[in-house]
A and B are shown apart, each in its own frame.
Chain A
Amino acid sequence: MLPVLIISAISIGITSSFISDALDRSGEETVKAVSNNVNLSLSNILQQNSQFANNPYMILSLKRILANGDHIMYSDAINIRSINASLKSIMSTYQYVSSVYLYLDGYESYYTSSQRIEKINDSDIWWQEYQNMAEDEDTMAVVLDDNKNKPDSRYLTLYQRMPLYSGVVVMTIDLDEYGSMLDSLTTNTRGTIVFANLSHQLLFCRGQNSEDAANIDISDIAEDGRWMRINGNNYLVHQTINDNYNIQIVYIIPAVMLLNNMMAYIPLMLLIIAAGIISAMASAYVTTKRNFNYINYIVMVLADAENGRYPEITESEKANDEYDLILNNIIRLHLKTEKLNNELEQKRHAEEVASLTALQAQINPHFMFNTLQMIQIEAVKGGQQAEGVIQMTSDLADIMKYALSDPLCPITLNEEIAYLKKYVAIQKRRFGDRFIIYYEVEEQMYEFPVFRLMLQPIIENAILHGVRYKDERGYIKLVIFRRNGNIMFRVFDSGVGMSRERLKQVRESIGSFNIHNIGLSNVNNRLKLYYGEQSALTIISAKGEGTIVKFSIPEDKIQIQATKS
């Protein structure tokens, strides 16, 4: 019960700070909205100016019209028509724009939105203000009492100098009309908008607290969203500066608003407190009951996990409560361990690739191939008997090209066997007909993707450790065939074979993960790395009889490997 009360108290505090924040935000937003509104609604003056900037002919036409009065040329008439059209559209779209004047310096007349050329009268207030406008300013905003059109109305008058020619576009805005438009922006907070120019002169105020606002010290408003005391009343003040027209816009919200807003929330809050007390009691009962169930469940899952059974909950499943969270954490821990193991494997692989690459980089291939080329040329010089040397150098070059290629670039079994035959061709030059090698490869196996140097170390082993020490002719046979979704690889040799102890030693040495242990262990490790444990080498041997080295690759693993590469 106590917690519920505490929470209620806190929530009241939070709500009041929330309301004050909301007020602050809406004040800020209002200021921005007004500034945007200024941009939007007053953009016509810019539009008028850009029309002149883009079209010097218009200026020329305007010049001639202002100079000659009614005697205008045809082309000028066209230009004037387009000026009229745009002025007219401004006037009809924006009710609060009361007039637009175009004036070029040095002329005695100006052009008005009521499509007339008017003589400048020294008593015209806009004209007097324009004469006072500082040379280095492009825009100016003043409020004028112009009784010429409408008695007792005040006008916000904006001046903007023309960009190409010395002249000015003047727009007068009826503040009564404009103010009622601004009212729509302030209905929520019932504050007051104040317009001032950059020299901190107040242009006009609009809103319920206009009298207080008129006394605001504009120069004092430096930061946004602070409380100020004006005429004994507290106000939340926001401001922004509209760069386009050099107008400072201030928005003040009376402190009473905060209290008003707060009052609206009080009944709701009481209701929430009551509901809170009831639901707290109900949930206490339900939670306790549920807790016991979950604890039992977790004990069960943990017991299962110890026995290696993992519950099938995906990681993306959202945790509904603390128990799901605990379970998810346990599962995640398990998955993470799996992942770490995986990463370790990948790292080992990367290291292997790196060391292979390093091995390759030690010998400059350019140098090697050039040397082979020279050997070949020397041999050709030697005459017809050199055919063997030429063949050997070219086989050796092919082997080097093959071995030096990117170890990760996938190849087909066909390429691997072609390379293997070149290797055997060189070995045959050493051993002559002391061994015969046959390849029994099922035709459709040739296109299977394999890794580089997968078979050569096994054949090398069969030659150097098997048939080489045999007194009579030795046979080596490579058999590759498909059986039950596996590609089976077998290398038979009729060599000297291995004793039981030796076989045990070899089996152990190829099982260790050691990149310096080349040959069979390298093949063995890569088979396991690429295709999994079940693809490891199997060696069967009998002393004096021969040796069989075999492995198999599941077909689906081959496909995966191919797409990975």
Chain B
Amino acid sequence: MSYTVVIVDDEKMISEGIASLFPWNQIGFQAVSFSDARLALGYIKSNHVDVLLSDIEMPGMNGIELCEEVKDLGIIVVFISSHQNYDYFRSAIQYHIEDYILKPIKSSDILQCFGKIKDKLDAVNKIDEAKPESYYDNIRKSVEQYLEKEYKDAKLEQAAVLVNLSPAYLSKLLRDKFGTGFSDWLLEIRMKKAAGMLTDVNYKSYDIAYYIGYDNPKSFSRAFKNYYGMTPMEYRSGKIKQD
């Protein structure tokens, strides 16, 4: 079952771009895009639409006017805005909009926002999709690969984009299915990598924090000591002596 999302932005390139380049199908949505709010309104009135994702500043009919027109249709509205403008947010609150996304839109923004919307719609429509075990295994493999490769700058949001899930959902899934949270998993990989680098004299010890993704060497030392029970320096001198 997929839900329909109508995307409106007066820049045709943006509305079509958002519709075609984000993996809507994989997160359970079907996207239709318009570059004119009045055409979008015509579509909404004659088709079943679940979500409206609309820019605010548009010539002709703007996002707030469009929102006013569809307010009785029970459509979930998300605004796209260029920057934080309090007037918009006041209108946004007035029309009970679901959420807003700031331009430029990132995949993680979409996944986060629409993950929540899908849960909400599923709850309304009483849908509880059961997934095969292989689905979860694939997610686990993807995340593991990502962490092994990108441990330096790894972020939950990025991992979530890779598997087309909202960050919150991915985090919950990892904890429920595999018993370890994203950050614990990342820490484990980082500490193993750090230990490996400490035994390699080609790495300056001062640089290792940076290589494994810490921007404060003191936090790295603290984390390392917590994990291995000794400071990175103690670990290094111990290993070198063994050799």
Which of A377, A404, A436, A439: most chain B CB closer than 10 A? A377
Q: Are B17 and A377 in contact (CB under 8 A)?
A: yes
Q: Are B216 and A370 in contact (CB under 8 A)?
A: no
Q: Are A438 and B216 in contact (CB under 8 A)?
A: yes
Q: Are B104 and A438 in contact (CB under 8 A)?
A: no
CB nearest to A397 among chain B residues: B104
CB nearest to B209 among chain A residues: A438
The docked-state distance in angstroms from the alpha carbon of A132 to that of B73 is 77
Q: B105 → chain A, closest Cβ, in Å?
A: 7
Residues from chain A with a CB closer than 8 A to the CB of B207 are 436, 473
Residue from the list A365, A380, A437, A438 in contact with B21, Cβ < 8 A: A380
Q: Are A438 and B217 in contact (CB under 8 A)?
A: yes
Q: B195 → chain A, closest Cβ, in Å?
A: 20
What does the 1/0 interface line of A377-409 toward B look like (CB < 8 Å)? Answer: 100110000000010011001000100110000
CB nearest to B215 among chain A residues: A439
What does the 1/0 interface line of B193-209 toward A look like (CB < 8 Å)? Answer: 00000000000001101
The docked-state distance in angstroms from the alpha carbon of A390 to that of B22 is 13
CB nearest to B218 among chain A residues: A440
Interface size on B, residues (CB 8 A): 24
A79-121 contacts to B, CB under 8 A, are none
Q: A246 → chain B, closest Cβ, in Å?
A: 59
Q: A43 → chain B, closest Cβ, in Å?
A: 54
CB nearest to A390 among chain B residues: B106
Count A-B contacts at CB 8 Å: 69
Residues from chain A with a CB closer than 8 A to the CB of B107 are 390
Q: Are B216 and A440 in contact (CB under 8 A)?
A: yes
Q: Are A377 and B21 in contact (CB under 8 A)?
A: yes
Query: Within 8 Å of chain A (Cβ to Cβ): is B96?
Result: no
Query: Within 8 Å of chain B (Cβ to Cβ): is A421?
Result: yes
Query: Within 8 Å of chain B (Cβ to Cβ): is A319?
Result: no
- Given the known interface contacts A374-B11, A436-B210, the answer about A369 and B17 at a Cβ–Cβ threshold of 8 Å is no
Query: Within 8 Å of chain B (Cβ to Cβ): is A172?
Result: no
Residue from the list A373, A381, A475 in contact with B104, Cβ < 8 A: A373
A253-286 contacts to B, CB under 8 A, are none
CB within 8 Å of B: which residues of A? Answer: 365-366, 368-370, 372-377, 380-381, 390, 393-394, 397, 401, 404-405, 421, 436-441, 473, 475
9 A-B pairs closest in CB distance: A377-B17, A369-B82, A373-B104, A369-B103, A380-B21, A372-B104, A366-B82, A436-B210, A376-B104
Beyond A370-B103, A405-B84, 8 additional pairs, beta carbon < 8 A: A368-B82, A374-B13, A374-B17, A377-B17, A381-B17, A401-B84, A438-B209, A440-B216
A-B contact pairs, 6 of them (CB 8 A): A366-B57, A369-B83, A436-B210, A438-B215, A439-B216, A441-B216
